[in-house]
Amino acid sequence: MKTITVTKNQRAIVYKNGQLVDVLKSGTHHLFWGKTAQVIPAQPAINAQTALFAELENGAFSNLLTRHEVDSNQLLLRFLGKNIIETYGVGTYLFWKSEMAISYELIETASTQNITNFDRSALESTIMIERLHRVVVPEGNQLVVFVNGAYQYTLAADTYYFWKNANVFTFKVVDLRTLNIEVQGQELLTKDKTSIRVNFSGQYKMVNVHRAVVENSNYYAQMYAAIQLAIREIIGSQTLDQLLETKTELSNQLVERANALLENIGLELITGGLKDIILPGDVKEILNKVLVAEKQAQANMIMRREETATTRNLLNTARLMEENEMLYKLKEMEFVERIADKIDGIQVHAGANVSDQLKTLFSK
């Protein structure tokens, strides 16, 4: 005789002469000679592909088990209370009946819609997450969903879950915020055949997600090309002088022209302009000479204007002194005072009248 102990979460499969003769639940059991037992866990399912499945499915032991069949695009959930403890895909399974609060739910997973009938905490569990596609869409973005290569729908910012099934899902997260674009080093010819290089800087945003992502294969590359065309069209219609004088107005025209092209791509250029206009060395040298000549002419004009004003003031002063003798004397005394400030010392010779010497000194 042999004694075995079976715990609450186990079952003992008893064989005699290679045939299954009994199933023992939890407790201590005695096996008489000729019988053997196999103790197995009572929790995992017994798959139809195992030999034990066929042995237990006969009528003698069917009351100890529950049977579940799972087809394609279905999922069997095993609950302990309200918590999911196991999931099972396609197959036929036997489960031991238990005294615990074990329940089962067979759900359809063929849907291409995001899952909304489960709590997020359940979907985020390690048991469930392997059965799902999980996509996080940050704020300011949208999710474009393709199924089997075809566009399905667009979703706002959030976290989404989709069943892994026979369908092939493709997800594209697109940014709806304002973004920067730089178009650098564009070699162009102006209307007067001057070769220049320009750099463009702007900001854009997506205004039609379906048009940008579904109807166009690479919206950014197409936007870049559209801005290039707008730059060439605007610059090519202006001479170099016009380009340098009306840079701001040209930037506004460029944005307007680019948006006319971007409408079919689902994008909008919010702001933009020519950040740099780079001239060839010889053209730059000529313009510098022209600028220096213009500034020199302006300086000469200012100097002549100042000289004329000074001469006019002197003439007015002379006329006043000619008409007023007292004013002439005051002016004379002013100059004498200025001269005296620059004299370190005065020598007066003995034997001469001091006042006459001073008068002679300052009257020269």
What is the 3 state secondary structure string of 112-171? CCCCCCCCHHHHCCHHHHCCEEEEEECCCEEEEEEECCEEEEEECCEEEEEECCCCCEEE
Question: Residue 59 pLDDT > 80, yes or no?
Answer: no
The contacts of residue 128 (CB under 8 Å, 6+ apart) are: 84, 87, 118, 122
What 3-state DSSP class applies to 268? strand
What residues pair up with 234 in beta bridges, in sequence order? none
Task: Report which residue type is found at 305.
Answer: R
pLDDT of residue 54: 80
Closest CA to 233 of 255, 249, 252, 257: 257
pLDDT of residue 362: 54
Give the residue-averaged pLDDT of 102-125: 92
Question: Residue 100 pLDDT > 70, yes or no?
Answer: yes
Higher per-residue pLDDT: 264 or 342? 264
CB 276, CB 243: distance < 8 Å = no
Question: Residue 348 pLDDT > 70, yes or no?
Answer: no
Place of tokens 């930037």: 251
Q: What are the tens digits of pLDDT across the range 270-319? A: 999 888 887 765 555 655 565 666 667 776 787 888 878 888 877 777 77
CB 53, CB 94: distance < 8 Å = yes
Give the model's confidence band at 19: pLDDT under 50 very low, under 70 low, under 90 confident, else very high: confident
Give the residue-averaged pLDDT of 109-134: 93
Q: How far is CA 30 from the centre of its chain?
A: 71
Question: Residue 357 pLDDT > 80, yes or no?
Answer: no
Q: What are the tens digits of pLDDT across the range 218-238? A: 999 999 999 999 999 888 888
Question: Residue 88 pLDDT > 90, yes or no?
Answer: yes
Helix (H) or strand (E) holding 355: helix 354-363
Helix (DSSP H) and strand (DSSP E) numbers for the chain: 10, 19
Task: Find the largest Cα–Cα distance for the chain.
Answer: 169
The pair of structure tokens assigned to 54 is 């066929």
Per DSSP, the residues of 55-75 read: HHTSTTTGGGEEEEEE-TTEE
User: Which percentage of the chain shows pLDDT scores above 90?
Assistant: 39
Residue 138 and residue 120: Cα distance in Å, rounded?
Answer: 17
Highest mean pLDDT among 38-52, 107-121, 179-193: 107-121
The pair of structure tokens assigned to 179 is 């973004």
CB 165, CB 153: distance < 8 Å = no
Give the model's confidence band at 358: pLDDT under 50 very low, under 70 low, under 90 confident, else very high: low
pLDDT of residue 91: 92
CB 196, CB 278: distance < 8 Å = yes
Question: Residue 15 pLDDT > 80, yes or no?
Answer: yes
Question: Residue 363 pLDDT > 80, yes or no?
Answer: no
Lowest-pLDDT choice from 129-143, 147-161, 198-212, 326-340: 326-340
